[in-house]
Amino acid sequence: MTGPAVDVTSLSVSYRVRHGQATTLREYLGSAVSGRTRRETFWALRDVSFAVPRGEVLGVVGANGAGKSTLMKTLARVVLPAAGHVVVRGRLAPLIELGAGFNPDLTGIENILLYGSMLGRDRRELRGRIDAIADWAQLGDFIDVPVRTYSSGMVARLGFAVATDVAPDVLIVDEALAVGDGAFRRRSADRLEQLISGGSAVLLVSHNIDDVRRRSARVLWLDQGQIRRLGDPGDVIDEYTAEMAERL
C-alpha cells in the first residue's frame, strides 16, 4: 500500500447542543410557545489536518474537552465528520473503550469471534486463535461463561487481547493502558512496544505526559478542537505543560 497509514485532511466534527431543554411536558409546551429552546452548533474539531506514516507513533495531548477522543472516534469510524476527509490504510485496531464491542450475554469465546469479526478478522482464523487470546487475557475457565459475569479488568484484558492479537496497520490507543492492575499495564505496554517495532502506525492519547514523550516520534497538541502545534515531542510537550500550569 502506498501513502501514509493515516491521512486526515481539513477534518471538522460538530454536535448540536440544545439549550433550555425541558424536563417536563409543561416546560416543553411552555418553551415551544415562547421559543426559549434553541440549538447551537458546537465544533468539537475544526479544520484538523495531519498524516501518520507507517511505523510512527503520534502522541496526542490536550486539556479535557480539547477534542482528543472525538478525533480518535472519528478515525475509528464511530463518529462521522461534518467536513473533511479521513483515510486509514490497512487494518485498524481501536483501543478506545476496551470491551465496548462486546455482547454481555455472550461467552468470552463468542465475543472473541464477534469482536474480532468487527475488526475485520476472518472467523475461521479467529477460531484458531481462541486459545492464544484467552491465554493472554488470563481468563481460564471464564472464557466459557457470559461476559456480564466478568470484572472490568477481565473485560479490558479480553478486549486488548482480541484487538492486538494480530499486528494492525493502525493502532489507536486512547487511555487504554491506564486501566486494569499493574500487571496488565506492564503486559499491555510490552505488547504495544512489539506492535510499534513491527511497523504499526500508532496514535497514542494519554494524560501520562512522560509516556507520550518517551514513545512518540511527534506530538500533536489539540486546543479547543484545533491543532495548536505539531512537532518534536520535547518542544510541544514543554510548551503544553507550561501553558497548563499557567491555567491552574
Q: How confident is the model at residue 244 (pLDDT cuts 50, 70, 90)?
A: very high
Using alpha carbons, select from 243, 220, 244 the residue that is nearest to residue 231. Answer: 220
Question: Chain-wide mean pLDDT for the chain?
Answer: 88
Q: Is the pLDDT of residue 134 over 90?
A: yes
pLDDT in tens, 1-27: 678 999 999 999 998 876 556 556 666
pLDDT in tens, 194-214: 888 888 899 999 888 998 999
Instruction: Tell whether the torsion through CA atoms of 71, 81, 88 and 228 is positive or negative.
Output: negative
Q: What domain count does the chain have?
A: 1
Whole-number Å distance between alpha carbons of 76 and 92: 8
Q: Is residue 150 part of a domain?
A: no
Whole-number Å distance between alpha carbons of 220 and 223: 10
Mean pLDDT of 154-182: 83
Q: Is residue 133 part of a domain?
A: no
- Grid cell, residue 118, equals 468487527
- Grid cell, residue 158, equals 479480553
Whole-number Å distance between alpha carbons of 240 and 209: 10
> What pLDDT shows up at residue 34?
61
Strand order across the beta sheet in which 92-95 lies = 92-95, 170-174, 201-205, 57-61, 218-223, 226-231
Q: Is residue 99 part of a domain?
A: no
Q: Is residue 142 part of a domain?
A: no
Q: Is residue 157 part of a domain?
A: no
Mean pLDDT of 235-242: 96
CATH number at 76 reads 3.40.50.300
Using alpha carbons, select from 99, 76, 104 the residue that is nearest to residue 170. Answer: 76
Q: Is residue 24 part of a domain?
A: yes
Q: Identify whether the C-beta of residue 139 lies closer than 8 Å to the C-beta of residue 108.
A: yes
> What pLDDT shows up at residue 237?
97
Q: How confident is the model at residue 28 (pLDDT cuts 50, 70, 90)?
A: low
Q: Is residue 100 part of a domain?
A: no
Q: How confident is the model at residue 167 (pLDDT cuts 50, 70, 90)?
A: confident
> Which residues constitute the domain of residue 11?
6-91+166-247
